[in-house]
Amino acid sequence: MASAAAALIARARREIQHQFFEADAVRPDRAIGFVPANGFERRIFDRYQQRGIVREVGDDKYWMDVVAYDVDLRRRHRLVRNLLLAIILVLVVAMMAGAIPIPR
């Protein structure tokens, strides 16, 4: 169930990014109207606004700050990398301590 939700969230991110990039709405003077298609897009869109990735210029027109988007993307990748490294470290320590048998 969690993997399905993660897939839907990833799709919502891609859809939002695609709409802004396709319209070249990456500067205030190229802002577009945007209405999220579903609840997942609404949550991601609201989060993007809170983080300064999507900015409003008035009259329900929005543009995507590419620099802020890149900073957020790098932050998410760093978080996932660190989480995976921590899991690997825990497994290695558990194997060395004998809690997890090493197949031979």
Which pLDDT score, from 0 to 100, does residue 48 have? 96
Residue 65 lies in a domain: yes
At 100 the pLDDT is 76
Give the Cα separation of 2 and 8 in Å (integer): 10
Residues 32-57 have pLDDT tens digits of 999 999 999 999 999 999 999 999 99
Domain count, the chain: 1
The identity of residue 70, as a single letter, is D
The pLDDT confidence band at residue 1, using thresholds 50, 70 and 90, is low
13: domain range? 2-97
58-97 per-position pLDDT tens digit: 888 999 999 999 999 999 999 999 999 999 999 999 888 8
Does the pLDDT at position 98 exceed 90? no
pTM exceeding 0.85? no
Domain membership flag for residue 102 = no
Burial of 48 (0-12, 13-18, 19+ CB in 10 A): buried
